Amino acid sequence: MMFACPATDDFFRSRIDQMIDLRHPLSVLASRMPWQEIEAQVAHLFMRKARADVAMPDLDLFGEKPVHQAKRSQAGRPRIPLRVMISLLYLKHAFNESDEGVVQRWGETPTWQYFAGQAYFEHRAPCDATTLVKFRRLLGDEGVEELLAQTINVAVELQLIKPQELSRVIVDSTVQEKAVAHPTDSRLLETARTHLVAAAKDAGINLKQTFAKEGRHLSRMAGRYAHARQFKRMHRTVRRQKTIVGRLAREIDRKASAISQAVRQAFEDALHKAQRIVAQSGHRKPLDGQPKLYAWHAPEVSCISKGKSRQPYEFGVKVGIASTHAGNLIVGARAFHGNPYDGHTLHAQMEQATILMQDCGQQPQTVFVDLGYRGVEADNPQVRIVHRGKPKRLTAKEKKQLKRRQAIEPIIGHLKTDHGMDRCYLKGEQGDRLHAVLCAAGYNIKWLLRMIARKGVRYLHRLFWRLLWVRNAVLGPVPLSWRSV
C-alpha cells in the first residue's frame, strides 16, 4: 500500500531519516561530522591546474576573460558530490572493504547513504570503483591528512576524549606489506625474462630466441629443488636463468642501437631492472650500496626485519603510528621509505602529529616509545622522550605511565586486521603514504562509533534533560505510576 510521508516532497518515497534508527552510532556521527569544513579544506585540490602548452579557457592575452552566464549543459554526467566520495573513503577503511565492495554495499545500506548525505534511498552504486582510484590520487597527501585531522577534531568536539590527552602520545613503527609475491631469485629472473621479451616485441625488435619454454621449466624446477632441499641443483638452475636473462638483455641492447631514441627510451627502464636483478641474484646483501629490487612493478618495496620468529622478513614499507596515551585515538600515521632507523623517523612523526592537532590547540609534549627510539633526544628538543632505557631519569609518574606503552600494539593489530593495513594494493610510494593515513582515518571512524555507542553524545544528553524539564514545567511532573512502567 502506497503512503505519503509528511516530511518529504516526494509523494512516492520516504526520506532515509524516516526509515532508519537515528540513534544508530553511524547516524549520530553523520550529523556531527563537519562536512562543509572538510569540503572547503579539500576543494582547492580539485581545481583545474595550468599545464605547459595548454591554453586556459579563463585567460587570454589581454587578461582575464569576462565571466559568461552559466548555462546548463546536457553533455556528460554531473559530478559526484564531495561528501559522497569522502564518506566512501571513510566507510571503506572503517569496515575493511575493497573499492568494489564499498560501492556495492553502499547501494544496499540505508545507514551508509544517510552518512553520505543522501535524502532518499537509492538502490544503485554511487560511482564506479575506479572513480575512487582517481579521487585518492587527486586528494594526495594533504587531502588524506585532512580527513584524519577531522576525525580527531570530532572526537574532541563530542567530548569523547579530553583535549589535554593529546599532549601525551605513544609512538611505534610497523610494516605495511605490499601486494607482491615472495621475491625469490628464480621468480624475479623469470619475471625479468618475460618483461624483456614483451618490451622487445612492443619496440619491434625480433629476438633470435625468447627461451619461453625453457624459462617456465627452470622456474618450476627451482621451486621443486628448493622444497626438496637440493640446493646445488637449485643454484645450477638459477645460474642458467641468469644466463638467459643476461643474453636477452645484451641482444636487446645491441639491436636497440639501430632504432630511434624515442623507442629506445620506452624499454630503457626494463633493461635497467633486468640488469639489477641479474646482479643481485645469488647475493644476500645489496651490491655497491644499491638497494635490492624485490618486485618488478613495485621498486619501492624494502625488506624489513622486525625480529618476529614466525615471519622474519616482511616486504613493504615502514609505517610510524602515533596514538594518545589514554583513549587509544590515532593522531598520526606516516610511511617512511628506505627502511630508516626507528629513531630517525620520530621528528617527522611528531611534525605530522602537531599539524593534525593544530585545530584542537594541542601539540605532543611527552612521547612514550620503545628502545628502538633511543639516542634521538637532541633531534627532538620540543618533546620529552620516555622509554625504559633511562630508568634513573624518569619520575615516579612517568614510570607508571610507561607501563601503558604496550597499548599501541593492539592498535597496530586492529589496523592490520580490521582496517586493511596488512596489505597495500595502491601503486607507488604515494600509494603507500595514502593507504597508511586512510587506514588510520578508518580506525578513528570505528573508534568514534564505538565511543558514541558506549558513552553517547553529551549534546544529546543535555537536550534530553532540557526537553524533560520543559515538559515538567508545562504539564507537571510525571506520575509515580508512569515512572514504574
Distance of CA 189 to the CA centre of its chain: 31
Determine the pLDDT at residue 261: 72
- Rounded to two decimals, the pTM is 0.86
Determine the pLDDT at residue 4: 40
Identify residue 151 by its one-letter amino acid code.
T
Enclosing H/E stretch for 59: strand 59-60
The set of cell numbers assigned to 342 is: 626507528
The set of cell numbers assigned to 255 is: 639491436
- The C-alpha angle 111, 21, 464, rounded to 5 degrees, equals 130
Question: How close are the terminal C-alpha atoms of the chain, in Å?
Answer: 34
Are 452 and 22 within 8 A, CB to CB? no
For cell 628506505, what's the residue? Answer: 338
The set of cell numbers assigned to 63 is: 587578461
Determine the pLDDT at residue 455: 83
Identify residue 406 by its one-letter amino acid code.
Q
| Exposed e or buried b per residue across 66-100, where buried means at least 16 C-beta atoms within 10 angstroms of its C-beta | eeeeeeeeeeeeeeeebbbbbbbbbbbbbbbbebe
Residue 194 Cα distances to 198, 275, 296, 394, angstroms: 6, 14, 11, 59
Dihedral of the alpha carbons of 151, 156, 162, 167, in degrees to the nearest 10: 60
The set of cell numbers assigned to 329 is: 585515538
Are 83 and 39 within 8 A, CB to CB? yes
The Cα 120–Cα 12 span in angstroms is: 11
Enclosing H/E stretch for 332: strand 330-336
- pLDDT (tens, 9 = 90+) of the chain, 485 residues, equals 333 444 556 767 788 988 899 999 999 999 999 999 999 999 988 876 655 555 555 544 444 555 556 666 666 677 889 999 999 999 999 999 999 999 999 999 999 999 999 999 999 999 999 999 999 999 999 999 999 999 999 999 999 999 999 999 999 999 999 999 999 999 999 999 999 999 999 888 899 999 999 999 999 999 999 999 999 999 999 999 999 999 999 999 888 877 767 667 778 888 999 999 999 988 888 877 788 999 999 999 999 998 888 889 999 999 999 999 999 999 999 999 999 999 999 999 999 999 999 999 899 999 999 999 998 999 999 999 999 998 889 999 999 999 999 999 999 999 999 999 999 999 999 999 999 999 999 999 999 999 999 887 665 555 555 666 665 666 666 554 444 43
Q: Is 2 exposed, middle or buried (0-12, 13-18, 19+ CB in 10 A)?
A: exposed
Identify residue 483 by its one-letter amino acid code.
R
Residue 175 Cα distances to 284, 309, 319, 342, 471, angstroms: 21, 15, 6, 12, 57
Strand partners, 315: 303
Q: In order of start, what are the domains of the chain with their CATH numbers?
A: 165-180+303-454 (3.30.420), 185-293 (no CATH)
Determine the pLDDT at residue 346: 95
Long-range contacts of 424-430 (CB under 8 A, 24+ apart): 424/176, 424/177, 424/178, 424/179, 424/316, 424/317, 425/179, 426/136, 427/298, 428/298, 428/300, 429/300, 429/317, 429/335, 429/337, 430/137, 430/140, 430/141
